[in-house]
């Protein structure tokens, strides 16, 4: 296992987690519980995420491949449970959490993990027919569409977009014909546009995104405060802990908008480091997926590809929202933002990729050895 360890990937992830610990403590200085409380809680989340990482890492990929259909069932059950009064918890108008008594489970985060396994399993099993039979695409497309419909009822538009784009990306690398791929992409884009037009609050977000300063004390408040933080940071920032936007001006400074705090306190340099680290992680995930496919481990390769798409898309959306490039969505920055469920799911997905590298490396060496013989 040590011989197959990916140093650059592990170093990049460790750097992001460390930055997250420091910035959560800094960003939570004005919150009610104080920075020490949030830093300690985040440290507990990181420790438990590490334990989950080790647990998932020791599960063979064949186990996940056998239960990929059950993963879809589990995802649907979670998406329905969260909508049931008494089980689902409503916070700020959204019903995204399930009350387990001793903790709360954010259903949409775990749905990402389950959907990733289901899609990789299904596409690996039907890869031969995907290029010739359009009906082979019908089952996963309808299944994911039904699941995302439940997610929208929470409502969680950010997770819907991440999962939809990840699904389209996996269809592409699985070998779906271009015309079928473009048809699915077009229908998905039309559905997203229709969802935006049907919800007044989403239209308001689009309007505030186009001109946030005209509604600086309304729907554009979060974005304008984030832009002020980016502007104050300039090249090298105002200094760690010296930012003022986190002092009750910027909502959710320790969570969805933590990049704005990083931008203010470390400047363009700090944001560039974050972008570079995510670039390394996503490229390594995709590279591991390519090697797995080359070693004829299709399920493993699709898992790694899907993980790269999911983490990359989520990070891009979060950074785009914080910097004003995209309309506001409630979505965390992987490895960095405060929150147990986000860290646990990200750790589990990362463990799958490390397991892919471990298993596919041995398979690839065996293929090369046979070729030499």
Say which range, 5-19, 72-86, 171-185, 357-371, has the weakest mean pLDDT: 357-371
In a domain? residue 293:
yes
Expressed as residue numbers, the domain containing 364 is 7-372
Helix or strand (DSSP H, E) at 90: strand 88-91
Establish if 75 belongs to a structural domain: yes
Give the total number of structural domains in the chain.
1
**Is 225 contained in some domain?**
yes
70 within a domain of the structure (yes/no)? yes
**For residue 371, is pLDDT > 80?**
no
Q: Is the pLDDT of residue 11 over 60?
A: yes
Q: Of how many residues is the chain composed?
A: 373
Confidence at residue 315, expressed as pLDDT on a 0 to 100 scale: 96
Task: Give residue 370's pLDDT.
Answer: 56
The average pLDDT across 59-70 equals: 95
What is the pLDDT averaged over residues 129-139? Answer: 77
> Which pLDDT score is estimated for 362?
64
Instruction: Decide if pLDDT at 9 tops 90.
Output: yes
Position 341 confidence tier, pLDDT thresholds 50, 70, 90: very high
pLDDT band with cut points at 50, 70 and 90 for residue 283: very high
Q: Model-level pTM?
A: 0.90
Helix ranges restricted to H, the chain: 7-27, 35-57, 61-66, 68-81, 107-125, 127-130, 135-152, 157-173, 178-198, 200-210, 221-233, 258-294, 298-322, 340-372
Convert the pLDDT of each residue in 286-297 to its tens digit: 999 999 999 899
CA distance 300 to 360: 8
Q: Give the confidence band of 149 by pLDDT, cuts at 50, 70, 90.
A: confident
Is residue 338 situated within a structural domain?
yes
Average pLDDT across the chain, whole number: 87
pLDDT the model gives residue 152 = 83
- Could you report the per-residue pLDDT of 152-174, keeping only the tens digit for each? 887 788 888 899 999 989 998 98
The verdict on residue 215 lying in a domain is yes
> Which is more confidently placed, 12 or 331?
12
What is residue 213's predicted lDDT score, i.e. its pLDDT? 81
More confidently predicted of 45 and 208: 45
**What pLDDT score does 355 carry?**
95
Query: What's the whole-number mean pLDDT along residues 52-61?
Result: 96
CA distances from 155 to 10, 98, 148, 245, 341 (A): 34, 14, 10, 28, 17
From first CA to last CA, the distance across the chain in angstroms is 26
Residue 31 lies in a domain: yes
In angstroms, the CA 40 to CA 92 distance is 25
What would the two tokens of residue 272 be?
A: 């560039």
For residue 92, pLDDT beyond 70: no
pLDDT at 346: 96
Residue 1 counted as domain residue: no
Asked whether 82 and 111 are in contact (CB, 8 A), the reply is: no
Q: What's the pLDDT score for residue 368? A: 55
Question: Residue 314 pLDDT more than 90?
Answer: yes
pLDDT tens digits for 184-193? 778 878 877 7
Taking residue 46's Cβ as centre, other Cβ atoms within 10 Å add up to 18
Under the banding of pLDDT at 50, 70 and 90, the label for residue 207 is confident
**Is pLDDT of 119 > 90?**
yes
At residue 54, the pLDDT reads 96
SS3 216: coil
Residue 3 confidence (pLDDT): 45
């Amino acid at each position: 296992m040590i011989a197959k360890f990916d140093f650059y990937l592990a170093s990049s992830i460790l750097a992001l987690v460390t930055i997250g610990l420091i910035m959560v403590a800094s960003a939570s200085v004005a919150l009610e519980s104080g920075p020490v409380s949030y830093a300690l809680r985040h440290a507990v989340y990181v420790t438990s995420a590490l334990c989950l990482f080790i647990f998932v890492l020791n599960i063979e990929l064949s186990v996940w491949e056998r239960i990929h259909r059950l993963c879809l069932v589990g995802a649907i059950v979670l998406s329905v449970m969260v909508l049931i009064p008494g089980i689902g918890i409503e916070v700020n108008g959204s019903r995204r959490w399930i009350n387990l008594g001793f903790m709360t489970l954010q259903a949409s985060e775990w749905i990402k993990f389950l959907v990733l396994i289901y899609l990789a399993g299904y596409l690996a099993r039907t890869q031969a027919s995907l290029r010739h039979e359009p009906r082979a695409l019908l089952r996963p497309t309808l299944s994911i569409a039904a699941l995302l419909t439940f997610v929208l009822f929470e409502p969680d538009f950010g997770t819907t977009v991440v999962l939809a784009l990840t699904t389209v990306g996996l269809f592409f690398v699985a070998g779906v014909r271009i015309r079928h791929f473009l048809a699915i992409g077009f229908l998905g884009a039309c559905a997203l546009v229709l969802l935006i037009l049907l919800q007044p609050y989403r239209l308001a977000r689009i309007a505030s995104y186009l001109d946030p300063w005209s509604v600086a004390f309304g729907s554009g408040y979060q974005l304008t405060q984030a832009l002020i933080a980016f502007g104050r940071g300039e090249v090298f920032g105002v200094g760690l802990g010296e930012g003022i936007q986190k002092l009750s001006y910027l909502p959710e400074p320790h969570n969805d908008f933590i990049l704005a705090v990083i931008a203010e306190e470390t400047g363009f340099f700090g944001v560039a480091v974050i972008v570079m680290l995510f670039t390394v992680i996503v490229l390594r995930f995709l590279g591991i997926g390519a090697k797995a496919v080359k070693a004829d481990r299709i399920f493993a390769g699709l898992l790694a590809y899907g993980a790269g798409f999911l983490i990359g898309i989520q990070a891009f959306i979060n950074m785009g929202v914080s910097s004003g490039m995209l309309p506001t969505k409630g979505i965390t920055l992987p490895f960095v933002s405060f929150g147990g469920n986000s860290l646990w799911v990200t750790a589990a997905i990362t463990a799958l990729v490390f397991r892919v590298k471990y298993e596919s490396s041995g398979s690839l060496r065996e293929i090369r050895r046979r070729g030499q013989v």
